[in-house]
Amino acid sequence: MAEIVAGLWAAEEVVSTSVQAGAAGYAVAKPTMPVRASFKQFASTTLPEASRASLARFEHTLTVVGNKAYIFGGQTDSGQLASSEIHILSFTPSENSATEYQAIPALASEGGTQIPEPRTAHAACAVGSNVVIYGGRDEAGNPVDDNSTLWEFDTQTLKWQVLKPETHPERVPPPRSGAALLFHDNNLVLYGGRGKDGASLQDVWYFNTFTKTWNALPSAPVATNSAAVASNTLYLVSASDKLSGTLYSLTLELYSPEPPAWQSTQFPTSPLTPGPGPRTNAAFLPISTGYGRNFLLYVFGNKLELASCVSDSQNKDSKNDIWDDLWTLQVPSSEPEMQATTDFANAIKPAKIKDQIREKVGAQTGNLTWCKVEPTLSGDPPGTTEESQPTNRASFASAVTNDARTVVLWGGLSKTGETLGDGWLVHLY
């Protein structure tokens, strides 16, 4: 038996080393976790805080298309809703140059007359080169009642258009704020939020951008505002006490003969088995460290009052208790796939091969394991300061870049209730 195990470990070395012929740097001996992070500030607002156009805001959205961040909506330091302009910031400026910035007024596409009204606590994501937003609250604090419209901003023409359902137009999600709008296979997944009566929603909807049709998926077993899609799975994180949490998952198989069913995995958060403390108004994002190795990243957020899994909007004048940590949850590795624009390492996905061999010998792969992110600051160790990384915050906006290895975040509320107007890059490796 020992000889068989030794042979399998040797096989792992051979396979992994062969894969590395086109993937130098993916070391077999290198542990999967912890993931490390470096931080870089790329911009900070200089607009008057009292202005509705100020980029110091919270409960807004940030969507990444290419090397630009598209910021929309939210609330400013004055307590007003931000204007309906969309703000465009380049987060990879050329060396020794200022960050490129544009403020684009809301304009309808040719032949159209509709534009989105100002809102906060809405949801957004990128579909191709366009930004799509949904829902939110209006000035009176009620869910925006626009027939559950999906608003699409064309980053080429810089104009808005409406994504209208063309089949079964009566089958649309009810209005809501605080929902998650997530990209999947060039389509959209909508989850949760709060309805007109303020009640938490647990429904899941899928919008096919080709047929322009909404379809309902099985409702989630829990209401939470921590939701993400990785590969073909919708993940939710929730907590009912301070010593444990639960990960829920739903495989997004639209044409399966059997309807998909929710799965759940409980995880401890005690000092002996570290895990993220219960939180809300945090970022929960799919990332990759390359070679098919996938994680969900959990960033900052308010410490959750466990009477409810979804909290109301935090009052900016109140003192918020905010987590200062980042966590990763390892999720299944990507399947190998050949693409014309994919390099050898990402086509072969050596992480998947390595995990399969480890499973054969009964070794741990790290799947569904939490680990605290280790920060590596610029200038570390000499000259490191607290200003070298973002202030812990809640109700901020964030998105992942196209390479899935960098997170862009903007604004939010500090632990003292200050409205923030700074932008950061968090690079994971």
**β pairing state of 36-44 and 374-375:** parallel
Q: Which pLDDT does position 26 carry in this prediction?
A: 47
Bigger pLDDT: 141 or 290?
A: 141
pLDDT average, residue stretch 72-95: 90
pLDDT in tens, 185-204: 999 999 999 999 899 999 99
Supply the pLDDT for residue 154: 97
Q: H or E element: which one contains 215?
A: strand 213-217
Task: Specify the fold of 31-332+367-428.
Answer: Neuraminidase (2.120.10)
Least confident range of 29-33, 42-46, 69-73, 293-297:
29-33
| pLDDT exceeds 50 at position 259 | yes
pLDDT digits (tens, 9 = 90+) for 272-295: 788 999 999 999 999 999 888 899
DSSP state letters, 219-277: PPSS--S-EEEETTEEEEEEEEETTEEEEEEEE--TT-SS----EEEEEE-BTTB--PP
Can you say how many angstroms the Cα of residue 161 is from the centroid of all Cα atoms in its chain? 24
What is residue 156's three-state secondary structure?
A: coil
Instruction: Specify the pLDDT at position 67.
Output: 95
Q: Is 315 left (phi over 0), alpha (psi -120 to 50) or beta?
A: beta
The C-alpha atoms of residue 300 and residue 288 are separated, in whole angstroms, by: 19
What is the per-residue pLDDT for 49? 62
